[in-house]
Amino acid sequence: IARTSAAPRRAQATATPTATLPSAGLQGQQDLLSLVNRLDEMPWNAEQFSLVNTIDSAYWRLGSNTPGEADVITVTLPADLLESFFGNNAATRIRRVEVEMALTTYEPSLLDSDDVYFGVLLTEADNPAQTAGMHIQLVQPGVINLAQRSGDQTQTVSQRAVNAVVIRARLERDPASGAITLFFNGEQIGGAIQFVSPDAAVLPTLYVKSPGVIVSVTGWSVTLR
């Protein structure tokens, strides 16, 4: 996978006031798209990840067709933002990440260089190069590779024929070891990926090849212990 270039410095995200949180913080499944929709400022370029409303539905558009410094657009929710909304060291309490994404458009010439891809990760808060998650690559129309991603390395573990590139991905974090297990549309993909300790702070992350690949995000959540 291409390395992500350093992103330009952006304003710190700010949120609208929230109700007082319980001392143990919020627990269970939490909707990250609802969280993002409440922000006054985004911790990323809003043109690269933004809400789109149509007559029939709404979704978040991730990606860009404009050349820029980065080969990959990455959207990560910072630890302080998670803390503001969920409390009690929320980034250390993440046990599951779920996302629903669909490939919307892509530049056909990118297929020749295997550059039509996107994915979902957990990122170590103290070391952003340390990641684990699922990498989805379009091989040809109607065929995708599913890969495990660890850091900058990807390993394909399954190839699927699909009518449309619509993904329901789940990352499960083992409460004893911290290892990550991947699920695609409810089916486990490969073995567990060794990751950081189960009490380390981790951050939910989405990414997409840039420019030329656009995906829609209709669900994004974390489950907190």
Question: Could you tell me the pLDDT band of residue 3, with boundaries at 50, 70 and 90?
Answer: very low
CA dihedral 76, 80, 81, 86 (to 10 degrees): 120
Whose tokens are 């989805």? That residue is 136
CA distance 183 to 168: 8
Enumerate the β-bridge partners of residue 76.
205
Read off the tokens for 207: 């990414």
**Residue pLDDT, tens place only, 57-110:** 899 999 999 987 789 999 999 999 999 999 999 999 999 999 999 999 999 999
Q: Half-sphere exposure of 194 toward its Cβ, with a 13 Å CA cutoff?
A: 0
pLDDT at 8 over 90: no
- Tens of pLDDT, residues 13-23: 555 445 688 88
Say if residues 104 and 175 touch (Cβ distance below 8 Å).
Answer: no
